Each structure stands twice: as structure tokens, then as C-alpha cells.
Amino acid sequence: MISLRGLTKRYGDTLAVDELTLDIEAGRVTGFLGPNGAGKSTTMRMILGLDHPTRGRALIAGRPYADLRRPLRVVGAMLDARAVHPARSGRTHLVAQARAGGIPVRRVDEVLETVGLTKAARRPAGTYSLGMSGRLGVAGALLGDPPVLVLDEPVNGLDPDGVRWIRRLVRERAAEGRTVFLSSHLMSEMQLTADHLVVVGRGRLLSDTPMTEFLAAASPASARAVVPDPGERATLVRRLMTADGVSVETSASGELTVEGRTAAEIGDLAHHCRVRLHRLSDVRVSLEQAYMELTARSVEYGAGGSAATDEGARQ
Amino acid sequence: MSTTTTPGRGAPGGFAGAIASEWTKLWSVRAPYLCVLAGLVITGVFTYYYASIARINDDPVQPVGNAAGSSAVLVQFAFVILATVAVTSEYSTGSVRASLLWVPRRHRVQAAKALVAAGVAFVAGAAFAVLGTAVAWAAFDGRATFESGQSLRQVLAIGLYQASVAVLTVGVAFATRHPAGALSILVTLLWALPSVLLGLGGPTLTDVNDHLPHGAGDRLMSIGADAPSTPVTAVTAVLIVAAWAATAHLIGLYVLRRRDA
């Protein structure tokens, strides 16, 4: 388990991380979201002892990373997959890591096999594609078989197969009771991977909730229904509109979009009024929508409609 | 996890692991091989010319080890570059963050790097000195004396000097993080400043030079009429060289500990 207590990082006048207090629990995948410059990477670097907090503490299993007796056996981290000497082979990089951590060198070949890099293992890391570098980074994180994984953008540069592989991998680790903390910019991927979400904006904690609650809180229940008969459609709309907080839109093709009612409620009502339905489904809120709603007010650079453009310019 | 085995207790990790890791990293890139090769070539050429010129100029007879001792002024830069690159390449590639994740106690990372660089510099420096002495013996053609005890002392002094230069370099490189900054400081300290001081001459400037790393080191490595190597000055010289290395090491450690990686 990772605990942050009032974790704060100041660069000159800028508060990169502002009083972050939260627990990242074992046994689930915790996703870490936030706009660029929100302090995600700084937070991860402080957890791993690379950056010094201005105030507060980041503890892993109750200790600062630097005080862990065998850090590589406790935490597997992947921060920047490209941060490998380009002339060194992927395998030698891992051998150096194994030696530093007191891990048997045969374990290197095991993790290379696990991440599918065995063939390229003896090539200079500088010749690796972004996806291969990512796999090498994951191999390094898995080397010590640690109970805690901290991964910054692990799916960056991976092909669809690789993305699914990472998803399965971290979900398996969490199911084994390990702590998984990962950031990603791919919302759809995060929605499939994470059980729990930590969202930061301008260095502050905006949300620390289970994924399902995060999605549910973002917008009220809504559903779509197709009613083939125009008369019956009008009846259903009239009955739906009698309740407060329900709005109905009818598309040109006759499809109803109902906000404030779930598919189940509409189905019951339709059955009650003897209205025939051809299709009925809940509208699933995407994590992207929910996330955008939450962070719209805290995007650091630019405001409102220009936020996305500004963020693009910063990359 | 079903297909992987849980790692056993394995190697010790800790400081021994940090040293093993630095050793692996050092020899897995080309730079150190080139540095050692350059040191070898410089030693051969320098000692050959040193002895040949002494013979041609009909200089007074001197201990044969002086040729190798004098070559250290150039050969040291092979180890300066080796040790600089071992540190600064990690900053330029970002792999220093990996090193600090593997060994989060920062003093350990620096100490391991310094120890590995010093070990290489000692062994290679002493081996070069043996080779240089052999080359010089042939080129002196009788204008030098050989005494095994004295030559052995000179060879060891050269090895120790090069080891100290390596430690000094690792400290400076951790303080600057960039090869250009580290090399300008080291070239100034180990070559430019001594050249200026000795070029201008005079007892004061010579005395200052004797307190610089190479000036002090030279007292140990070369034995001449103008530099009588009494036990006191030898001990002082060792202390001066060690003090430079220790100071640079501590400055580097201060920066490494304070700054974010």
C-alpha cells in the first residue's frame, strides 16, 4: 500500500503538488488521471524517492522508498521507458538492475520472456521501438516480483495487442492482492483497467473514488429507446415527462434519448403502457466525459473551450 | 504469475550489489574501452619520447620510472573521461533515474561509481606504468637507472594517483551533471592551472602548484634532483591528493543528495 500524507512539491512559485493525502490500496488497480502539468509524474517521482517533497511524506508499506531494505523486491516502477542508455542492450540493462537489487540473473530471462522481448534482448536499447522500450520498462518493473507496481503511462506506444496485454497483466497482479498504481492518457483504456480513480488538477486532489461511483456521479442515468409506432411513442414520451427531472429528446429517426431514467425504468413503464419497443439500452457514461466534466474547471492552462487546444500545444 | 518463479534471495544487493551493477554498466558501453586504449597509446608514445629526448639531450641519469610518472599528466585524462562519461551519460540519457530506483541510497550510488572507476584507474594506471617503464628503458638506452623497489613504488604511486583522479572526477561529474562542465573544471585543475603556475615560475607559484592534485601527485610519481622525495613530503603529497579527491566527492554527494533526479 502507498500512503501520501500532505505531499507537497513547490518549484519556485509554482505548486506542482499541493497537500496530496490519500491511500493507494492493495488488491485493486488505481488509475491516476489529470491534465498535463497537474503533478502526476512529480507525485510518482516523489513516491519513488527521485524528487524530494517540499512538505509531507510518501510512504510505501509504511516507509519512504529510500528506506526500503530491498526496494526492487517491494516496488516495481516504470517512469520513463526511454530512460535507458541507448548503447546498452535491454538484457544488460536488466542484468545491471538485477545485480543492484540482489536478484538472481536468471530472473532477467524470465521477465524478458514475460514481456516478449527475448529476441531483441541483446540488441542496443537505442534501436528499440517505443513499444519495445515500453516492454523493457515493464520487464524492469516486474523483475523483483514486487507487491507494489507504479507505472507511468505503461501503454504509451504499445500496439493494441500490447495495450490488452498490459491490461491483463495489471488486473492479474491486482487480483493477486498487489497494489497497482498507474497513469494513462487513454481514457477508454483506463475505464477498462482501473477499479479506482485518483484525479488531480493543479496539484490538488479532485477525486479519490471507485470507478463506478466516479462514472455515476458524473451525469444522471440516461437511456435510449426506439419505439416504432408514432402514437405509442407519443404516449411514452407524455408518461415520461410527467416526472420531474426527466427530459426526452426525439431524433429524426424516432429514437428517444431519455435523461433521468434508466433502461430498466423505461422498460417497466413501456410494459405498463403496452408500448412496443424495438431497442432499449442504457447510455453508458464514458470515463472521458466524466473526467472532462470534473477537470473542466481545473485545467491549468486556458479555460473552457480553449483548454484542449492549450493542452495540445503543451505536448 | 503462474508461469514465473518467485526470485530467491539471490545476490546480496546492498553496496556489493551497487558495485556489481556499476561494473556491469561501465563495461556495457564502448567509452571505457576507448579510454583504456587511448591511455595505453598515450603511455607508449609519451614514455618513448620522454626517454628519447632525455637521451638526445644528454640529461642527467634518472630513475627509469620517471618516464611513466611524467606520462601521468596526459594519461590521467583517459581516466577523467572514463569516469566523467560513467556519470554524465546517465544524466544525458535519463538512466540516472533507473540507477537511483535500483539503489535509492544516493551515497551508495556515488560511492559504487567512484570505487569502480578508481579500481579501473588503479589497475590500468599501474599496468600502463609498467609498460611505460619498459618502453622507456629501451629508449633511454642507458641514461636511466633501474632499481626494482623504487620502480615498484613509482608504479604504485601512479596507480594510486590515477585512482584518486577517478574519484575526484566522479565527484565533479555528479556536481555538474554535464560532461562539458565537468571536463572544463578538470582540465583546468589538472592541466591548465599547473601549466600556467609552472610557466610563470617562482617559489610561490611552484608552492601553490605543489598543493594542486597533479603537483602533489608528481612528487610521488617522479623522482628527480629538484624534487627530493623525503618521507614527510611524500606523506603530505598523499594527503593533498586524497584531500582533493575527498572534497570533490563530498561536493558531488551534496549536489546528488540535494537535487531532484
Residue B5 lies in a domain: no
Closest to B215 in 3D by CA, of B69, B115, B78, B83:
B69
ipTM of predicted complex:
0.90
What residues of B are in the A interface, CB distance below 8 Å? 1, 3-14, 17-18, 20-21, 24-25, 28-30, 89-90, 93-95, 97-106, 258, 260-261
At A32, list the grid cell: 491516476
- Closest in B7, B93, B258 to A86, CB measured: B93
Interface contact flag, B104 A49, Cβ < 8 Å: yes
Chain A residues inside the 8 Å CB shell of B90: 85
Interface contact flag, A100 B8, Cβ < 8 Å: no
Best mutation target, A52, A70, A91, A97, to test chain B (most B CBs within 10 A): A97
Chain B residues inside the 8 Å CB shell of A89: 28
pLDDT of residue B226: 53
**First-residue to last-residue Cα distance in chain B:** 32
- Closest in B1, B12, B260 to A51, CB measured: B260
Residue of B nearest to A173 (CA): B1
At A206, list the grid cell: 479532485
Residue of B nearest to A87 (CA): B29
Instruction: Work out how many domains chain B is built from and give that number.
Output: 1
Residue B186 lies in a domain: yes
Chain A residues inside the 8 Å CB shell of B1: 145, 172-173, 176
What is the dihedral sign for C-alpha A182, A185, A186, A191? positive
pLDDT digits (tens, 9 = 90+) for B17-62: 999 999 999 999 999 999 999 999 999 999 999 999 999 999 999 9
Strand pairing of A204-210 and A196-201? antiparallel
Domain that holds residue B244: 14-259
Residue B223 lies in a domain: yes
Chain B residues inside the 8 Å CB shell of A66: 104-106
Interface contact flag, B25 A68, Cβ < 8 Å: no
Residue B134 lies in a domain: yes
Range of weakest confidence among A197-201, B158-162, B168-172? A197-201
Residue of A nearest to B96 (CA): A83
- Measured in angstroms, the CA of B15 and the nearest CA of chain A are apart by 8
Chain A residues inside the 8 Å CB shell of B12: 102
Reduce the DSSP state of residue A244 to 3 states and report it. coil
Q: Is B85 in contact with B170 (CB distance < 8 Å)?
A: no
Residue B61 lies in a domain: yes
In the predicted model, residues of chain A with pLDDT beneath 70 are 219, 297-315
Q: Report the alpha-carbon distance of residue B139 to residue B142 in Å, rounded.
A: 8
Interface contact flag, A95 B89, Cβ < 8 Å: no
Q: Which residues on adjacent β-strands are paired with residue A149?
A: A76, A180
pLDDT digits (tens, 9 = 90+) for B202-237: 888 988 999 999 999 998 998 874 555 445 578 899
Interface contact flag, B10 A145, Cβ < 8 Å: no
- The residues, any chain, with a CB within 8 Å of residue B150's CB and separated by 6 or more, are B63, B65, B223
Residue B115 lies in a domain: yes
Residue B142 lies in a domain: yes
- Whether the pLDDT of residue B127 is over 70: the answer is yes
Best mutation target, A8, A99, A112, to test chain B (most B CBs within 10 A): A99
- Measured in angstroms, the CA of B245 and the nearest CA of chain A are apart by 25
Say which amino acid occupies A5.
R
Closest to B104 in 3D by CA, of A2, A47, A149:
A47
Interface contact flag, A85 B97, Cβ < 8 Å: no
pLDDT of residue A304: 40
pLDDT of residue A254: 80
pLDDT of residue B7: 44
Best mutation target, B5, B21, B102, to test chain A (most A CBs within 10 A): B102
Burial class (CB in 10 A: 0-12, 13-18, 19+), B60: exposed
Mean per-residue pLDDT, B151-171: 97
Chain A residues inside the 8 Å CB shell of B106: 66
Q: If pLDDT is split at 50, 70 and 90, which confidence band does B12 have? A: low
Q: If pLDDT is split at 50, 70 and 90, which confidence band does B13 have? A: confident
Q: If pLDDT is split at 50, 70 and 90, which confidence band does B256 have? A: very high
Chain B residues inside the 8 Å CB shell of A99: 11, 17, 20-21, 24
Interface contact flag, B102 A96, Cβ < 8 Å: yes
Q: Which residues on adjacent β-strands are paired with residue A4?
A: A22, A58
- Closest in A83, A99, A140 to B17, CB measured: A99
- Measured in angstroms, the CA of A175 and the nearest CA of chain B are apart by 11
Q: Report the alpha-carbon distance of residue B252 to residue B166 in Å, rounded.
A: 13
Interface contact flag, B95 A102, Cβ < 8 Å: no
Distances (CA, A) of A163 to A45, A158, A235, B50: 23, 6, 47, 64
Interface contact flag, B104 A93, Cβ < 8 Å: no
DSSP string, A133-184: HHHHHHHHHHTT--SEEEEESTTTT--HHHHHHHHHHHHHHHHTT-EEEEE-
Strand pairing of A28-33 and A179-183? parallel
Interface contact flag, A66 B105, Cβ < 8 Å: yes
Residue B130 lies in a domain: yes
